């Protein structure tokens, strides 16, 4: 079984300062990990994904995440926050169902990012 824990339910940063959203995972297998972003009343948009290639993954809108197996972490970062980054962010781990079945996702509880002017 797999699980994912987002360590902060709310993060507040000033515009232009770095963003760090923390995520720890638990998986019996080599995991596939994702970060999705959800703006108010919108669907989820994929930011980036890790699928056992490079441990530092670059995504859209300047976000990146580093897979650290020793720490079982997949934290999301951005060097400089923008007002448009204000949204809810979900860390997600994909389950190891056998090929031919639908791959199930386990979602974290989400982190609400507020960007202050």
Partner 1 sequence: SQTIHQWPATLVQPVGSPLSLECTVEGTSNPNLYWYRQAAGRGLQLLFYSVGIGQISSEVPQNLSASRPQDRQFILSSKKLLLSDSGFYLCAWSPRLAGGQETQYFGPGTRLLVL
Rank residues 24 and 107 by Cβ distance to partner 1 and give the closer one: 107
Q: CB within 8 A of 103, min separation 6: which ones?
A: 94, 95, 97
Question: By the criterion CB under 8 A, which residues form the site for partner 1?
Answer: 32, 34, 36, 41-46, 49, 51, 90, 94, 96-97, 99-105, 107-110
Nearest approach in angstroms of CB 4 to partner 1 is: 10
Rank residues 17 and 26 by Cβ distance to partner 1 and give the closer one: 26
Q: Which residues partner with 36 through β-bridges? A: 46, 90
Nearest approach in angstroms of CB 50 to partner 1 is: 11
């Amino acid at each position: 079984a797999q699980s994912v824990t987002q360590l902060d339910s709310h993060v507040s940063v000033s515009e232009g300062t770095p963003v760090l959203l923390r995520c720890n995972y638990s998986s019996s297998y080599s995991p596939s990990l994702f970060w999705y972003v959800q703006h108010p009343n919108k669907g989820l948009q994929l930011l980036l994904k890790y699928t056992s290639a490079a441990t530092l993954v670059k995504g859209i809108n300047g976000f990146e995440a580093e897979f650290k197996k020793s720490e079982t972490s997949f934290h999301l970062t951005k060097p400089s926050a923008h007002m448009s980054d204000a949204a809810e962010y979900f860390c997600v781990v994909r389950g190891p169902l056998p090929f031919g079945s639908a791959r199930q996702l386990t979602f974290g509880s989400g982190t609400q990012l507020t960007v202050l002017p």
